[in-house]
Amino acid sequence: MRLLLLCMAAVLGTQSASTAPVETPHLAITVVPVASAAAAGARLDLVLEVAPKPRMHVYSPQQKDYIPIALTLQPAAAFSIQPAVYPKPEKYVFAPLKETQLVYSKPFRITQPVTIARAPALRAAGLLPGAPLTISGKLRYQACDDAICYMPKEVPVSWRITLGAVSTKED
């Protein structure tokens, strides 16, 4: 019975519910919890769900000459950071300037791959199995509607991860 419950928890754990969104005047930003413990050397995808409010859009990282949305993590020895992955943007025609811009105006996800450090680095940082690891960062964006662009904003974000097994041998 215990094995069955553990198996069910493992399957259900991969479908972890999102936390409550952080609301700004322009966006709702949800940090999606990491579903399971992270072992030394494991690659994880940290996920942000971003929902622009009605009539709002933010610029894609591909858009030149405007302030794009950007997720930046605080570096730490316990993990390495790979480039964030953004979805394909929409084309938006801004008639007053006769410009076509690359934006997000519908809900979208940003995926931030990270790799947990190997066991020796985790042990050197005093991180043991079961220890919490907080990965913090910020989401910077400039939102616009069909008439004006608002001042850029930065929203702090963080993920709390439980470290899995850290072996005693050198990895």
Tell me the pLDDT tens digit for each residue of 42-87: 999 999 999 999 999 999 999 998 999 999 999 999 999 999 999 9
Q: Give the pLDDT of residue 36.
A: 82
Average pLDDT over residues 104-133: 92
**Can you tell me the mean pLDDT for 133-148?**
94
Instruction: Find all residues with CB under 8 Å of 61, minimum gap 6, and list them.
Output: 68, 69, 70, 86
Average model confidence (pLDDT) across the chain:
85
Instruction: Say if residue 12's pLDDT is above 90.
Output: no
